[in-house]
Amino acid sequence: MEREPYFFLSYARRDDRGSAFVRRFYDDLLAELGRLGADCSGQQPFLDIERIGLGMDWESALGSEIGHCRALVALCSPAYVNSPYCGKEWAAFESRLLRYREQTDIEVPALIPVLWVPLHNAMPPEISKYQYFEPPMGQEYLEQGLMGLLRSAPGGRAYRAVLELVAKRVHHVADLFRLPRAHGLDLGTVRSPFEGREPTGPGRRTTGHVRVFIAAGVTDPLPTGRQRHEYYGPSPLDWTPYHPPIHPTVAYRAQRVIIDEGCTSSLEVVDRGLGEKLDEAMHNNQTSVLLVDAWAARDSQYRAPLSDYDRQNHPVTGVLVPCHETDEESVDEKLWTDLQQVFRRNWMRRNDPYDPLFQVQVERQRFESRLARMVVVAQNRLMEQAVPRRLPAGPSAPPMPGLNVPYTPPPSSDDPTEPPGRTPPQKDQDDEL
């Protein structure tokens, strides 16, 4: 049987870095659906950190799930409206609703907005045309959003009221309707309907390109001293430092964080040309991030270029070294002593709260928040020292109209059809050419 997720939970990663509120709501929604008699076991709902595994193409996986799910629950917030991929998920699912309406003349309420964090301005019309509030949800929900209710009273009456109504809507549409599927959906071709809708606050949004360099091991051969195969794949880009295969690759997680910060990104594997590439990135007014596997950093393939980085000055490059807190192999002090020898100069500033560009032993729940801050700080530093690009030399610009021509009063006109003060049209020099 072809997979049809009971629902797809769409949310902005910036809203939930390390706080686990999204996961709590997802689990509570599953429990409430079970209480209503829904059987989701055969068509497991989609939560990206749970369903995108080791070595998967995350963009294709998202497209497939959006193209087949029965309902979409969108956790709306300023970050959601400003996330390009949240907008793509919304638009792709909405297109399936429109196709169903064209085929059957039936409006299916399967796109379910939830006010996660109140927006600074009015709800965008693309969202407000769908019902996101009912009186039983209460005024507290409108004022605080569902994440606010979870923070203040996770088991309280106000939170439960919203949860029950959302679950009833999901249960109704998922069991009653079958939307047309979108096979081979390419989210890269989908445009977000929210572009430019919601400001994120003064100075919050950044723009630019981040080059992500990964220094990680592979399954064959494993990094020196490593025994656990499940953290690796055939390529360094398949590295999954956080409890695989449940959580997605570190490359996927990093790209989603960077996208949510308003930047584009590219992925590369660290090689001996790393220093030149970092210099090239800065010359092109780009920032860089090195994601380093402490085990792989011991091997000569990475040790030499990472040590070269450490000896040079790269003010807009960040380094982040993940570490899974329950990986017993990674608690060995010798592993981190060896890493210290690779990053001798930078080691003294590790995990400095005032200089967040060198972060080591970063646990899963802190990965996204630390990487986001790293990206923003690097972008701000780049702006302070960006090299202006001079335009190519060309012909002089023509004089501004009226600046070098003596003013002459407009001639009087006896034509009663001419409004007062209007100058009759005159032929200028350009008309004669």
In a domain, 404, yes or no: no
Mean pLDDT of the chain: 82
pLDDT single digits (tens) 23-35: 899 999 999 999 9
In a domain, 96, yes or no: yes
> Helix, strand or coil for residue 284?
coil
Query: What pLDDT does residue 55 have?
Result: 40
pLDDT band at 140 (very low <50, low <70, confident <90, very high): confident
In a domain, 173, yes or no: yes
> Helix, strand or coil for residue 360?
strand
pLDDT band at 146 (very low <50, low <70, confident <90, very high): very high
Query: What pLDDT does residue 326 have?
Result: 81
pLDDT single digits (tens) 326-349: 888 888 899 999 999 999 999 999
pLDDT band at 194 (very low <50, low <70, confident <90, very high): confident
Flag whether pLDDT at 383 surpasses 80. Answer: yes
Domain boundary among 122, 156, 189: 189
pLDDT single digits (tens) 339-378: 999 999 999 999 998 889 999 999 988 898 899 999 999 9
Flag whether pLDDT at 400 surpasses 70. Answer: no
Same domain, 246 and 312: yes
The answer to which of 40-49, 392-401, 403-412 has the lowest mean pLDDT is: 403-412
Query: What pLDDT does residue 53 have?
Result: 42
Strand-pairing partners, residue 142, are none
Same domain, 154 and 219: no
Lookup: tokens for 280: 């090239």
Same domain, 242 and 100: no
Name the pTM for this structure: 0.57
Same domain, 275 and 223: yes
In a domain, 2, yes or no: no
**How are beta strands 264-269 and 287-292 bridged, if at all?**
unpaired
Q: In this predicted model, which residue has the larger pLDDT, 402 or 187?
A: 187
In a domain, 202, yes or no: no
pLDDT single digits (tens) 114-126: 999 888 777 888 8
In a domain, 366, yes or no: yes
Q: In this predicted model, which residue has the larger pLDDT, 431 or 3?
A: 3
The answer to which of 16-20, 134-138, 220-224, 306-310 has the lowest mean pLDDT is: 16-20
402 neighbors 408 (Cβ within 8 angstroms): no
Query: What pLDDT does residue 425 have?
Result: 40
Lookup: tokens for 63: 């497209």
Flag whether pLDDT at 128 surpasses 90. Answer: no
Return d(Cα 361, Cα 373) in angstroms, integer.
16
pLDDT single digits (tens) 224-265: 999 988 899 999 999 999 876 555 788 888 887 887 777 888
At position 421, the amino acid (one-letter code) is: G
pLDDT band at 171 (very low <50, low <70, confident <90, very high): very high
> Helix, strand or coil for residue 292?
strand
Domain boundary among 189, 222, 254: 189
Query: What pLDDT does residue 404 have?
Result: 39
Query: What pLDDT does residue 51 have?
Result: 43
Lookup: tokens for 71: 């309902």
Return d(Cα 177, Cα 180) in angstroms, integer.
10
**Stretch (H or E) spanning 342:** helix 333-342
HEC string of 137-192?
A: HCHHHHHHHHHHHHHHCCCCHHHHHHHHHHHHHHHHHHHHCCCCCCCCCCHHHCCC
Instruction: Indicate the DSSP class of residue 396.
Output: P
CATH, residue 295: 3.40.50
Query: What pLDDT does residue 201 have?
Result: 44
In a domain, 396, yes or no: no
For residue 418, give Cα distances in angstroms to 59, 415, 421: 63, 6, 8
Query: What pLDDT does residue 1 have?
Result: 56
Return d(Cα 399, Cα 316) in angstroms, integer.
41
Same domain, 218 and 366: yes
Neighbours of 96 (CB within 10 A): 22
Same domain, 184 and 213: no
Flag whether pLDDT at 59 surpasses 80. Answer: no
182: alpha, beta or left? (left if phi > 0; alpha if psi -120 to 50): beta
**How are beta strands 8-10 and 72-76 bridged, if at all?**
parallel
Domain boundary among 352, 368, 385: 385
Return d(Cα 140, Cα 346) in angstroms, integer.
47
In a domain, 432, yes or no: no
Return d(Cα 342, Cα 63) in angstroms, integer.
40
Q: In this predicted model, which residue has the larger pLDDT, 94 or 58?
A: 94
Flag whether pLDDT at 391 surpasses 50. Answer: no
The range of the structural domain enclosing residue 77 comes to 8-189
pLDDT band at 106 (very low <50, low <70, confident <90, very high): very high
> Helix, strand or coil for residue 319?
strand
The tally of domains found in the chain comes to 2
Flag whether pLDDT at 394 surpasses 70. Answer: no
Query: What pLDDT does residue 246 have?
Result: 54
Same domain, 379 and 233: yes
For residue 279, give Cα distances in angstroms to 153, 173, 273, 312: 50, 54, 10, 10
Same domain, 222 and 337: yes
Same domain, 139 and 280: no
Flag whether pLDDT at 97 surpasses 80. Answer: yes
Share of the chain above pLDDT 90, in %: 45
User: How large is the average pLDDT for residues 207-216?
Assistant: 91
Buried b (16+ CB within 10 A) or exposed e, 216-246: bbbeeebbeebeeeebbbeebbbbbbbebee
Same domain, 260 and 140: no
Listed in sequence order, the residues at least 6 apart from 29 whose beta carbon sits closer than 8 Å to its beta carbon are 7, 9, 45, 73, 163, 166, 167, 170
Same domain, 215 and 167: no
pLDDT band at 292 (very low <50, low <70, confident <90, very high): very high
Flag whether pLDDT at 11 surpasses 70. Answer: yes
Same domain, 302 and 214: yes
Query: What pLDDT does residue 277 have?
Result: 96
Query: What pLDDT does residue 263 have?
Result: 84
For residue 326, give Cα distances in angstroms to 16, 95, 241, 293, 363: 22, 42, 11, 16, 10
Omega before residue 221 within 30° of 0, cis: yes
Flag whether pLDDT at 426 surpasses 50. Answer: no
Return d(Cα 166, Cα 154) in angstroms, integer.
16
